[in-house]
Amino acid sequence: MKMNFSRMLAGLMIFCCTLIYTQEKTENIDGVYKAKGAAFVINKNKTFLIMAYGTLIKGTWNIEKDLLYLKPQNPDAKFYVYARKNPSIKAGMHISFMGDGIGNGIVVGEFPNKMQPLFNENANCFDYPNVHLFKEKPATLALLEEQNDENERGADIPKLMYNFPTGDYNDFIVQHMQDSLYHNDFVFKIAKNGLSDPEDDSGKILKKSTVKEAFPNEEGLKFIEGAFNRAFAADYKLVNNAYNTHDDMDREINPENYKYDKVKNVYVNPAVPARQLDYNSKDYHYDDVLMKFDRITGTSQPQTSVKKLPNPVFTANCDR
């Protein structure tokens, strides 16, 4: 078989040039960009963090031709459930419902005949925390969110019913993932001198700075990124008696720095004398006594119509 070395050499040169160009683009892509009212932190390790007012988005990025795609790490379910064994609960179960956007569209209970709307119709003036003691504990806790409106975000938002085995647990946290946590890809055009918005016909290059320039306090940036992980990718939640979770607290908390109280199944600050520990504190920022809820996994299935009991779990009404 006769080989055309000239053609092979030309192909190899094109491949090498393309590889070098791609590497150059990748090497120069990291930094902090200000665009669309947000700060885009692009890291060399192909991860990114987007910070805007009340918004924190994390994910990975990749390059296709001359476009940079930021792919958000969206929640993989509409509900995350955390659980613990509470020695003080003798019957039934305790559930705390957390998350923005909770309302009467959420249905909870035992499928198929003991499902309740979480809130009343036209609920307003919500309290916090939303904690309820159920008289009965089903073997499986069912959760779904009825969505009457069309999904206008374009992002892939699950529409499923979730089933979580309750097992030996009797104290639960249900974290609702509202639609606003689901994001489409963010796309930027890679130009010779930097990044630009593909929707901006002017081709204006986005202002770029280094991470150290934008965030002189690197520890602060690490804490922010860690807050995302603790909120949406945590194997457990640490919660005080006022139901403030450790991902909302102003410092990172490690249970290894606490002493475990096996009788009460809580973690206590070893630096505080036992007589000064307040197990029933309603102080939102009290962190000397913490409960540890472990994330449990469940199953999901396509949503089906359910017969709802007439009374909601909570009634939220400004006029009450």
CA separation for the pair 244, 63 (Å, rounded): 40
CA separation for the pair 39, 175 (Å, rounded): 27
Q: Please report the sign of the dihedral spanned by the C-alpha atoms of residue 29, residue 30, residue 35, residue 40.
A: positive
Q: Please report the sign of the dihedral spanned by the C-alpha atoms of residue 10, residue 12, residue 18, residue 23.
A: negative
Residue-range domain boundaries for the chain: 5-74+182-217, 79-180+227-302
Q: What is the mean pLDDT of residues 258-263?
A: 96
Q: Does residue 84 have a pLDDT over 70?
A: yes
Per DSSP, the residues of 23-87 read: HHHHHT--EEEEETTEEEEE-TTSEEEEEETTEEEEEEEEEETTEEEEEE---SSSEEEEEE--T
Confidence of residue 249 (pLDDT cuts 50, 70, 90): low
DSSP-based three-state secondary structure for 285 = coil
Q: Does residue 277 have a pLDDT over 90?
A: yes
Q: Does residue 263 have a pLDDT over 90?
A: yes
Q: Please tell me the pTM assigned to this model.
A: 0.84
Copy the structure tokens of residue 250.
């102003």
DSSP-based three-state secondary structure for 185 = coil
Looking at residue 149, what is its pLDDT? 56
Looking at residue 248, what is its pLDDT? 61
Confidence of residue 247 (pLDDT cuts 50, 70, 90): low
* Per-residue CA distances from 203 to 57, 123, 189, 200 (Å): 25, 47, 9, 6
Domain 5-74+182-217 maps to which CATH number in 1.20.120, 3.40.1010, 3.40.50, 2.40.128? 2.40.128
Confidence of residue 150 (pLDDT cuts 50, 70, 90): low
Copy the structure tokens of residue 103.
């309302």
Confidence of residue 11 (pLDDT cuts 50, 70, 90): very low
CA separation for the pair 258, 218 (Å, rounded): 26
308-318: per-residue pLDDT in tens? Answer: 999 999 988 88
Q: Does residue 210 have a pLDDT over 60?
A: yes
**In the predicted model, what is the mean pLDDT of the chain?**
86
To which residue do tokens 């990124």 refer?
Answer: 225
Confidence of residue 24 (pLDDT cuts 50, 70, 90): low
Confidence of residue 152 (pLDDT cuts 50, 70, 90): low
Confidence of residue 302 (pLDDT cuts 50, 70, 90): very high
Alpha helices in 134-232 (DSSP H): 211-214, 218-232
Strands 171-176 and 93-98: parallel
Of all residues in the chain, the percent with pLDDT exceeding 70 is 87
Of all residues in the chain, the percent with pLDDT exceeding 90 is 59
What is the CB neighbour count within 10 angstroms for residue 216? 9
Q: Does residue 189 have a pLDDT over 90?
A: yes
Q: Does residue 175 have a pLDDT over 60?
A: yes
User: Counting every residue, how long is the chain?
Assistant: 320
